[in-house]
Amino acid sequence: MIDAMSGFSAVVTTGIYCRPGCGARPHQRNVRPFANAAAAEAAGYRACLRCRPYRSAPPLSWSGPELVCRAVQLVLDGGLDDGLTEHDLAARLGISARHLRRLFAEHVGATPDQLARSRRAHFARRLLDDTDLTVTEVAFASGFGSVRQLNRASHEVFRASPRELRARRRKADRLAADGGLTLRLAYQPPLDWAVMLGYFRARAIAGVEHVSEDTYRRTTAIDGDPGVIELRQGTEEHLLLQLHLPHWEGLIHHVERARRIFNLDADTGAVVEQLAGDPLLGPLIQARPGLRPPGAWDPFEIGVRAIVGQQVSVAAANTIVARLVARTGTAIPGLGQLGLTHLFPAPADLANADLDGLGLTTARARAVAAFARAVLDGHIAFDRSTTLQQFADALTATAGLGPWTAHYIALRLGEPDAFPAADSGLHHALSRATGHSVTTREAEALAQGWRPHRAQAAAQLWLADA
């Protein structure tokens, strides 16, 4: 199951649950452990007003039944939003809703609906603390279908109305911005912000992304209307996300996507526990414990970038993708001062696009088009509802996509055990570490001992000299 690394503690005598590190000192016989906040809430406990567990972001460990892990991830990614039901979620996983609820009861401690409600309520509570959005705006930004739904969830989870919760917010919580909306993205430290930002800077897609010395910036769209997001470091425990969006409905989904870019939900503690003693990876992890596998805002964008980057340098791939965006992307006026000019093309834009003259080989151009069509037809899904092997099989069934491309895309999507063994950068790093030239087969053999954290191993090897 997906558990918080150190879980939550609920106190029977007070009916309150706390996050690790809370200053409360109840008698141990009155304490009940819970793996996640939703389970504590499902058991009737409310969040502590002192440690405010809804503001923290416990790391998620990938262990136990994989089906449950994927189901939980789907819920956290919005799989029960916009009117979707537990039956819809179960169908995506290929099981019955009854079996899904039974698995959640055993491994999560809450139903899928209860987990989704907790997620939305916690996000709404943070908006009430940090922003001046109205209660109505908070409701729709948090994925609720109405203010009434927000009121009901607020009373169930926090025992107070949204207006009462806003009245309780602390002065230091409110974030003021010169423009747009600013939110905190909490994570479990450490996070090697500078090195990871450098990774994105070296691969930024001109016009779509811009990475300065301290900020990651990119274009996005909501219902076809363009917007901009910016990420920069806040403290050692949170990033600052600034959003310039045409409207706030469904904001929770944009925030979740932003978290994935720097892989803020990664359980680095579990990685260190398993791999710190490895003779090859141990010294790298000790030197840079805050490195995480780089994530992605848009899986399709990453897929196209990976195909273009097959057997060419990073600089060459950057040039070709910039040309592709200029020809097939949607132009956005007025953002030139931010280094942004376009939205990345959608699958429909590339399925039958003319890609001649961009610097792509004929085979690469066909692969981009085939990939776009496979995504449009639903043959490739990025929701992580399938296993890593099933996802890789779906990708490699597309002409021009091999195991390296499949595992690189999977790694950027957050698959913790993805490992692009044929990657030349990994070969160079492993060759330096072992003292002899390493082949793809040898890389695969070495990586067997790093399961189920091979993506973290790849990140450490790629960025060892950063």
Residues in the chain: 466
Q: Are 164 and 179 in contact (CB under 8 A)?
A: no
Angle between helices 112-130 and 66-76 (to 10 degrees): 40
Q: Are 461 and 447 in contact (CB under 8 A)?
A: no
CA–chain centroid gap for 185, Å, is 11
Report the amino acid identity of residue 10.
A
Angle between helices 268-275 and 454-462 (to 10 degrees): 90
CA distance 452 to 156: 37
Q: What sign results for the dihedral spanned by CA atoms 273, 122, 24, 27?
A: negative
First and final C-alpha spacing in the chain: 34
Q: Which of 81, 130, 265, 423 is catalytic?
A: 423
Question: Of all helices (H) and strands (E), which one includes residue 233?
Answer: strand 225-235
Q: Which of 18, 22, 48, 51 is catalytic?
A: 18
Tell me if residue 18 is catalytic. yes
Both structure tokens of 465: 């000299």
Q: What are phi and psi of 342, to 5 degrees?
A: -140, 155
Tell me if residue 423 is catalytic. yes
Q: Catalytic residue positions?
A: 18, 423
